[in-house]
Amino acid sequence: MSIRDKLSALLGFDIDFDAPVPPRKTETAAEQTPDEWRFSRRIMRAGGRRLGAIYKILGVICSVVLMSTLLLTVAGMPRYGVDQEYMDTVTYEYISHGMEYTGAVNIVSGIILEYRAFDTLGESFVLFCAVSCVLALLRADGADSEPERVEYRDISCDPILRRTMRAVVPIVLLYGAYVLLFGHLSPGGGFSGGAVIGAALIMIASAYGEDVSGRILTERVFKTVTTCALSFYCLGKSYTFYTGANGLHSVIGNGTPGNILSAGLIMPLNVAVGMVVACTIYGMYRMIGQRRF
């Protein structure tokens, strides 16, 4: 039984992959359509009507179920401000003992990198997976290794843009580094700092054009930085979990809250997360824009 028969049996109508695709309305548009689009167009045409009806009904059912579930859940929650004795235990614990346990003055950083560090690791890996998918899909190599010549007016030689960027980019980079390094003391942390640094890299790339932006972050640097940061996060957090769970003495102390070198591993972990985020943002920009590093 071929895939086609299975699909036909599943959907309840015959899919004819071999049917000739009627030409589109304009010849020029049809010429420029990539081959891979034709396949999906055939499927769409084969069962467009019936699939559309099923799709709409299923969509409505899914939305109603999801909405009612969420609304019922919200209705079942304890009222805000009332019944605090069992609502606020975790919050109370975080606020009253958070600084003592984690050493972080910024309690948000303490929570996301100490109490819930596993979530943050997962988020970093989500970013890593996203940029890997973008690389796999959009990167121009192999058969079509010729980099696309983008047909737009090159604004990278614009003197106004360059002057502005020359003044702005150092400040943005400095701010990003500050947000990263002081994540455990003041508002900020890995994600926000990394996003600011990534935005600064995009600024440089857009103001100084192809020749400079190719040198900022080569593919090798990208791979090395991302892998090393994620590995460091895994190892450092494993160490903390191991010593914490087994009640062992950790070599990395909490230090004095308020000092730049305090709060255990939170600052290095912030830097690791920030590097992954910055690389992800810049990599996506390059992949969507130029399809290569």
Binding site for other proteins (CB under 8 A): 28-29, 32, 34, 106, 108, 150-153, 155, 161, 179, 187-189, 191-192, 195-196, 198-199, 202-203, 206-207, 281, 284-285, 288-289
Nearer to other proteins, 26 or 246 (CB): 26
128 and 226 in contact (C-beta within 8 Å)?
yes
Instruction: In whole angstroms, give the CA distance from residue 7 to residue 30.
Output: 27
Long-range CB pairs of 214-223 (<8 Å, 24+ gap) are 214/293, 216/282, 217/279, 217/282, 217/283, 217/286, 217/293, 218/293, 219/293, 222/279, 222/282, 222/283, 222/293
Q: How far is the CB of 288 from other proteins (least distance, A)?
A: 4
Q: Residue 114, CB half-sphere, CA atoms under 13 Å: how many?
A: 25
Please state the closest distance from residue 2 (CB atom) to other proteins, in A.
31
229-253 core/surface letters (b: 16 or more CB in 10 A; e: else) = bbebbeebbeebeeeeeeeeeeeee
| Nearest-approach distance from CB 290 to other proteins, in angstroms | 9
Closest separation in Å from C-beta 151 to other proteins:
7
Instruction: Identify the CA nearest to 12 among candidates 59, 57, 49.
Output: 49
Residue number, 51 or 107, with CB nearest to other proteins: 107
> Minimal distance in Å, beta carbon 29 to other proteins?
6
Q: Which CB sits closer to other proteins, 29 or 65?
A: 29
Q: 121 or 202: whose CB is closer to other proteins?
A: 202
23/34 with CB nearer other proteins: 34
Measured from the CB atom, is 186 or 250 closer to other proteins? 186
Q: 123: which residues sit within 8 A by CB, 6+ positions away? A: 191
User: Could you give the CA distance from residue 148 to residue 80 in angstroms, rounded to a whole number?
Assistant: 56
- In angstroms, what is the minimal distance from the CB of 210 to other proteins? 12
Report the length, in residues, of the chain.
293
- Residue 264 region by backbone torsions, left for phi larger than 0, else alpha for psi between -120 and 50, else beta: left
Residue whose CB is less far from other proteins, 266 or 284: 284
Closest separation in Å from C-beta 134 to other proteins: 10
